[in-house]
Structure 1
Amino acid sequence: MVALCLKMFIEVSHKDNNFINFESRNSKKMNKSCDFLVIGSGIGGLSYALKVAEAGKVIIVTKSKLTDSNTYKAQGGIASVMALPDDFEQHINDTMICGSNKSNREVVELIVKNAPVQIEQLVRWGVAFDKDVVGNYALAREGGHTQNRILHHKDFTGAEIEERLAALVCEHPNIEILEEHFAVDLLTQHHLGKLVKRSLPGTECYGAYIIDLKQRNVITLLSKITVLATGGVGNLYHTTTNPAVATGDGIAMAHRAKAIIEDMEFIQFHPTALYNPLERPQFLISEAVRGYGGILRTQDGREFMHLYHPMGSLAPRDITARSIDNELKASGDDFAYLDVTHKNGEQTREDFPNIYEKCLSLGIDITKDMIPVLPAAHYSCGGVKVDTNGETSIKRLYAVGEVASTGLHGANRLASNSLIEAVVYADFAACHSLANISRYGLQQGIPAWDYKGTSHPEEMVLITQSYKEVQQIMSYYVGIVRSNIRLERAMQRMQIIYEETEHLYKRSTLSQKLCELRNMIAVSYLIIKQAQQMKESVGLHFSLDYPMN
């Protein structure tokens, strides 16, 4: 009954969106339009924008700065078959095994076989992947991979990709960038007074309502095609490697617009975030460190991963994170160690300069000292369901990157498959968009944002406290290990926070933090609900009530 009640609240709440509180002095009509609206600015959004920009005007909306994304934080690299003895079949099999055979094999094959072409495109755009002394790509290996197939740029591959693509986007005359603009909701037939249901076909997307965070007004941004590239959900949890912008906005917006959302129970915890209670988000210790030869140990120096998996410290992420969690609960310790002190110190500094400098700033010399690590929320394997064109169940609305559920990851993502998925699906979405955009026009009759009922902003403490409570609920009850009673308690607690937040939302000034809180609650509900529906332990969803065979 609680779940049904919360479901009803979350799904119908969008009907009042035209009457959300804001400052009445901004009542003038604000309109913008474009051919392609891209919400988000990671590798998926930026590569899509570059591929369609010659065909029309592109507007990129990002709630922070252009490069503030999960892509920028990615350290390890991007997976692709590039040289023998590797081949497509091995990459496909590694992906299927890591995903507990829950991945869509057709999608896995499409992405793996299209990966080398997209790597070549990234190189043409100026991305510099590391090479060996004879000029071949210096391919690394990470957990779950049976071959070396990870292209990288030292230990800040994501930053290299993001900066190169951002530079090209900024130079393109057909691309307009709206930094510090927050997408509130997607526009559909609902905003024309028509009934929209998840079960009914024919829903279309016409753009989005966007808050200009500097000018404090709401823009009605009309588009022929809209692309969600908003990233993940890491900030639903207290301990995460994701930047502060990862609050599940795209999934929440798509859900309110009646798109299909799937596989949200599969939240991946990266096994090795740097243990530093004074820092949030947690600094990521790349999977590549384990691929390099790093060994996981307990605080008393005991190697333990061979007890859980034949690949030892190179086991897939779901098993590794769960194993560390089990060891920490058994010992009562706050962290485990990742040890590379047995490796050549000079080579370690050369291969991992970013990690070396970060740890050194905390008094940890990784060539001599073991690295304190713990699991942290890292990646959402589910999201907005898309087809092989990257299109959602809502026409004219695409989703690429972590916000999307393509079917690649199944129950657990294989390391470094995320960046390649994003760029491959951005290409699929771009090709399909270009083939169909001539059929679409800008929808007329969409009402401007209505500023009725505005009032003073409530105390920020009300928002920040609920924000922390969401993170506590998700961390304690919907984390690496779950149970039926934990999930039920999480749903009950979330309903209380939902009701309080909706009351606050309808009577106070609109703000980014308040919108993010609502989105976090909606996505938390989806994770809890879909976890409750999963009557087995598989991959990243591990329940004490359904032991694995």
Structure 2
Amino acid sequence: MNWEARADLVVVGTGVAGLTAALRARELGLRTLVVTKDSAGAGNTAWAQGGVAVVRDDEHDDGDSVQRHAADTRTAGAGLCDEDAVRAILADGAAAVERLRAAGARFDLAGAALARTREGGHTAFRVIHAGGDATGAEVQRALSSAVGADGIPVLERHCVVEPVRDESGALAGVLALDEHGNPGVLRAPAVLLATGGLGQLYAATTNPEVATGDGIALALRAGATVADLEFVQFHPTVLHTPGAARGRRPLITEAVRGEGAVLLDVRGERIMAGAHPQADLAPRDVVSAEINRRLGETGAEHVLLDATGIDGFAARFPTVHASCLRAGIDPVREPIPVTSAAHYACGGVVTDVEGRTGVAGLYAAGEVARTGLHGANRLASNSLLEGLVVGARAAEAVARDLARGAAVRRPVLVPVPAAAVVDRDLLQRTLSRHAGIGRSAEGLAEARIALDQAGVVRPLRTREAVEDASLALTAQALLTAAEARTESRGSHRRRDHPEIDDVRWRRSIALRLDVSGWLFRTDREPVRSVA
């Protein structure tokens, strides 16, 4: 190994969960090191538009409450939310927002109060926002500034490859590559994964290029369990740009519909009228599925979002307005062409509400984690809230666990590992075709076979190789779960099993890797893997 660094806690990722954890860990006296494979602001957080869903004691709609927010969350989660996790995380929301404001975040105001909007699945106006539709960018700015002011070291352009262990097998840190590809070790008794999502599994996504499922793969290789990976939320409204091959698509925040915009098909007919009691503000899985159905009927590539009736659109939604103008569309005067794209991973590394995984010393928070808050479909704007709450709780859990006597261990150094990788374009086309909104046993099996046949084992000596290996393993785990769940629930839709089956499937599907590197359903037989 060419280099080494030591800490009490290594945080992998610089989004809302990771930086919140780093700040809280520093407050608790922990030597904390943050590492990210790109620049500090390159993750998903900065792209979040809508806001933070929270019920505050002194500012809320008449009749709204944390309990009502929890009920909306459970409804969206389609029977798979963990009741205790929902209660615990949402109850801490208001305090987490106040900590964020104390760190310098500036939210939009309506007079002296925080401005609130409503998004899909919410029965009240409880989503606070910043910069109109730039909440994530403001959260990222505030947390990054606070981390810098606290002097917390951030290693940019350092790609984490593998967990490392000591002679007893205990977690001892992570193996990483610097920006020149030189391997080194970050030694620590505690590692927090806050790596974000897996949107780059798909050809069209709202996620940036860094969202390659790295945390899922790292956790699996460390021996942790993942669950609910089949529940990938597709955002109903991203800007349709003709001829776009693959990559991140501009998001049209759900708050646009919260302010009165409606979805139309290319014939000008309302899409959601009569399709759901909440019409255009139905949960995202419902809206995405209905859009997909209408596209099949009309043969069109997109539907239309008519926001021409919103007064002051450019001021309220400056990010969306600018994206539309760049594409040659004036949303003030004409409907916006939109379609759905992969947006958010509802599942991930199984943790408790304090970020602990089943592996001692390994923690996870944010989109990479599966706390049980989201169930089968995330309620809009619960994601930033979860990152704020669980990020802080994870730091506190690390401090308590280390106080019991864990020390920085000497890792057993191993060569840079090798793993199966798949051509990224092939992988994205395969997942988009067979593991998108409409799935079937035949298509999922075809996808698994295609990835198996395309896999090539290569040493993980570059960031690209690490990402491709993460995508390959995460894709196989997702396909395994999607094949097993023979029903349609939340954001998982099976054409061959269109109904919910509460008798068999009101539970999560959990996976891990065994010692031979095979994916294993914890309640069933081992299944094939590219690991």
Q: Do both share a fold (TM > 0.5)?
A: yes
Distance 2:165 2:298 in 1: 53
Percent same amino acid among aligned pairs? 36
Of 163, 174, 185, 2:162 maps to: 185
Q: Deviations over 1:120-164 (max 9, x none)?
A: 11111111111112x111110000000000010111000000011
SS in 1 for 2:55: coil
Task: List aligned pairs for 1:50-449, cutoff 5 A.
Answer: 50-54=23-27, 55-82=29-56, 83-85=60-62, 86-133=64-111, 135-153=112-130, 154-173=132-151, 175-188=152-165, 192=167, 204-214=170-180, 216-276=181-241, 277-278=243-244, 280-344=247-311, 347-438=312-403, 439-447=405-413, 449=414
Change (3 A) 1:544 1:172: same
Contact residue 38 and residue 158 of structure 2 kept, 8 A: yes
Judge conservation of contact 1:207–1:223 (CA < 8 Å) in 2: yes
TM-score (norm 2): 0.90
SS of residue paired to 2:204: coil
Contact 2:30 2:399 in 1 (8 A): no
Does the 8 Å CA contact 2:8/2:31 hold for their aligned counterparts? yes
Are 1:536 and 2:464 matched, yes or no?
no
State the one-letter code of the partner of 1:291: G
Q: What amino acid maps onto 2:117 in structure 1?
A: A
- Contact persistence 1:249–1:519 (CA under 8 A): yes
Distance apart, 1:494 and its partner CA:
1.2
Give the distance between the partners of 1:160 and 1:35, measured in 2 at CA: 29
Structure 1 counterpart SS, 2:11 = strand
Structure 1 counterpart of 2:472, from 507, 521, 536: 521
Residues 338-361 of structure 1: CA deviation (Å, up to 9, x unaligned): 1111222xx211110111122112
What does residue range 18-33 of structure 1 map to in structure 2 within 5 Å? 29-33=2-6
Q: How far apart in 2 are the matches of 1:193 and 1:472?
A: 42
CA gap of 1:451–1:431, structure 2 versus 1, over 3 A, is: closer
Deviation at 1:396, TM superposition (A): 1.1
Q: CA deviation at 1:280?
A: 3.0
**C-alpha distance in 2 between matches for 1:343 and 1:178:** 44
1: CA distance between counterparts of 2:23 and 2:303? 43
Asked if the contact 1:188/1:257 (under 8 Å) is kept, the reply is no
Q: Partner residue of 2:513? A: none
In 2, Cα distance between equivalents of 1:371 and 1:521:
34
CA contact (8 A) 1:39 1:228 kept: yes
Amino acid at match of 1:131: L
Equivalent position SS for 2:133: coil
Deviation at 1:446, TM superposition (A): 2.0
1:46 aligns with 2:19: yes
1:105/1:337 Cα in 2 relative to 1: closer, same or farther (>3 Å)?
same
Paired residue type of 1:243: P
Alignment partner of 1:484 out of 425, 441, 458 = 441
SS in 2 for 1:220: strand
Corresponding position of 1:18: none
2:453 to 496, 504, 517: 496
1:42–1:71 CA contact under 8 A, matched in 2: yes
CA drift at 1:450: 2.8
**Structure 1 residue 193: Cα displacement:** 7.8
Match of 1:30, as an amino acid? Answer: W
Question: In 2, Cα distance between the equivalents of 1:407 and 1:30?
Answer: 38
CA distance in 2, matches of 1:434, 1:289: 41
The structure carrying a bigger helix percent of its residues is: 1
- Letter paired with 1:75: Q
2 CA distance for matches of 1:426 and 1:211?
A: 25
- Paired with 1:266 and 1:152, the residues of 2 have a C-alpha distance of 26
- 1:445–1:71 CA distance, 2 compared to 1 (3 A): closer
Matched residue SS, 2:305: strand
- Once residues 451 and 243 of structure 1 are traced to their aligned partners in structure 2, the CA distance between those partners, rounded to angstroms, is 27
CA contact (8 A) 1:233 1:248 kept: yes
The secondary structure found in structure 2 opposite 1:31 is strand
Q: Is the 8 A contact 1:234 1:377 kept in 2?
A: yes
Q: TM-score, normalised by structure 1?
A: 0.87
Rounded Cα–Cα distance in structure 1 between residues aligned with 2:83 and 2:351: 15
One-letter code aligned to 1:547 = P
CA distance in 2, matches of 1:117, 1:168: 18
1:457 counterpart residue number: none
How many positions carry a matched residue from both structures? 490
Please state if 1:470 is matched with 2:427.
yes
- Local SS of the residue matching 1:64: coil
Unmatched 5+ residue regions in structure 1? 1-27, 195-203, 454-461
SS of 1:395's equivalent? coil
Q: Is the contact between residue 17 and residue 391 of structure 2 (CA under 8 Å) also seen in structure 1?
A: yes
